[in-house]
Structure 1
Amino acid sequence: METFPGPGPIVEAIGVAGLVAASYASTNLDNFVVVSAYSAKSGYRPVYVKLTFALVCLTVVCVSLALARAADALIADQLRYLGFIPIGIGLWQLGALVFAGRGAAERPADDEPARVGWALYLGFGLSLLANSSDSVIVLAPIFADLRLAFVVVCAVAALSVAIAMSSLATVIATNPLLRAKLEKIADRALPFLLIAIGLMIVLDKPADLFVP
């Protein structure tokens, strides 16, 4: 009986890249909401928000690869404690919002908001990274048996998704009508969103996907 050859490496690479892209997109819908809110938030530059999301994506890929090579379920279980990062940042933003309310009311309406510093972008990136624990849980088993060349292809696929999602968030944030509506709720809603996401991460103990 004639045997048919298996799929070539290019077909395999496309298939794995598609799987990684779909997995990364499906586990980052909540991060898309956060990125959109930060892009419209006063003082934040959308281009820096996009760059932060891209760097977080590369970090997620590296952490997923390291976890896949370690194949340690205990490490996967500890990922949920990263949820305390967005909780802390959300509480900090909520406190800043409460204590800055009086000063904001006294500020002239035509004053431009001050640009935020790198420390706040670092906090933003840590929130995205903590909220990416589900991406790590999903991607690590995929990376477990892949050759390095396929991992590079998967990293490009995930990064492409991150750039596409952040670009869409930037379009929303730079549209005058959409930005006006989003900016009204971003400053007040973002702290509660971060706290809620952090609680979901802490309370949702990840399943053991690393034990056959």
Structure 2
Amino acid sequence: MDHLTGLGVAIALFASTNIDDIVVLIGFFSDPRYRPRQIVIGQFLGIAVLVLASLAGALLSLVAAPALLGLLGLVPIGLGLRHLLSRRDDDGDEAAAGTASAGKALAVAGVTVANGGDNIGIYTPVFATSPAPRLVLFVAVFAVMVALWLGLAHWLVHHPALGAPIRRIGRVATPFVLIGIGVMVLVEAGTVAWVAEWAVRG
């Protein structure tokens, strides 16, 4: 595989596994409690975790069952519920928001990781069959694509014509999108079935 083909594979790999991230990022950029810097840091951190987990995919699969990894779905569910419960405090103390900057960046990272559980299963075999130079290319392309994803979401939210309706829709829809993502992760990872089986045996 030459560099041009590897570039195409990297772009297709990232785009096909992160389409839904655009919706999530629009939701975060629409939420005045999250500053752009927190979202950028959180998204890069989350994608980095997914890439590192994929590089260590073989070892990870031995250490943790998919059903256990599916418990990450509780992160977006918890955030979604918190958004629903705290809407009345949207105009709260800005200083308090600044104090929680690191926590909010980690929250964005947590949603990215939970939403990208299937990414690990897709990236792992590709990474496993790729030589070191190609892996470096993949990581570089992924970093650029994350920046493009962030830029696109930010542009849509602040577009002169589209920005206002997107922000309104984003604020309303984000909690439900997060909860939906969490439920999807729990179901697709087999966590719900695993917990039900464990409860029956218990």
> TM-score with structure 2 length normalisation?
0.80
CA contact (8 A) 1:69 1:144 kept: no
Task: Mark the runs of 5 or more structure 1 residues left unpaired by the alignment.
Answer: 1-6, 207-212
Deviations 1:178-202 (A, max 9, x none): 2211221222221111000111111
CA contact (8 A) 1:50 1:167 kept: no
Q: Which residue in the other structure is 1:61 paired with?
A: 51
Q: Report the 3-state secondary structure (helix = DSSP H, G, I; strand = E; otherwise coil) of the residue aligned with 2:94.
A: coil
* Runs of 4+ in structure 1 over 6 Å off: none
Q: CA deviation at 1:71?
A: 5.6
CA contact (8 A) 2:43 2:108 kept: no
The answer to whether the aligner puts 1:125 opposite 2:109 as a matched pair is yes
The answer to whether the aligner puts 1:182 opposite 2:172 as a matched pair is no
Decide which of 41, 64, 73 is 2:31's aligned counterpart. Answer: 41
CA root-mean-square deviation: 2.5
CA contact (8 A) 2:42 2:107 kept: no
Instruction: Give the greater-gyration-radius structure (CA).
Output: 1
The answer to whether the aligner puts 1:139 opposite 2:123 as a matched pair is yes
Q: Which residue in the other structure is 1:202 paired with?
A: 186
Task: Mark the runs of 5 or more structure 2 residues left unpaired by the alignment.
Answer: 191-202
Q: Percent identity?
A: 26
Provide the aligned length of Structure 1 versus Structure 2.
186
Q: Distance in 2 between matches of 1:145 and 1:75?
A: 23
Task: Please identify which structure carries the higher helix content.
Answer: 2
CA contact (8 A) 1:23 1:135 kept: no
Q: Which residue in the other structure is 1:114 paired with?
A: 94
Q: CA deviation at 1:69?
A: 5.4
Q: Distance in 1 between matches of 2:124 and 2:54?
A: 4
Q: Judging changes above 3 Å, is the alpha-carbon distance between structure 1 residues 168 and 113 closer, same or farther for their aligned structure 2 residues?
A: farther
Q: Which residue in the other structure is 2:16 paired with?
A: 26
CA contact (8 A) 1:86 1:127 kept: yes
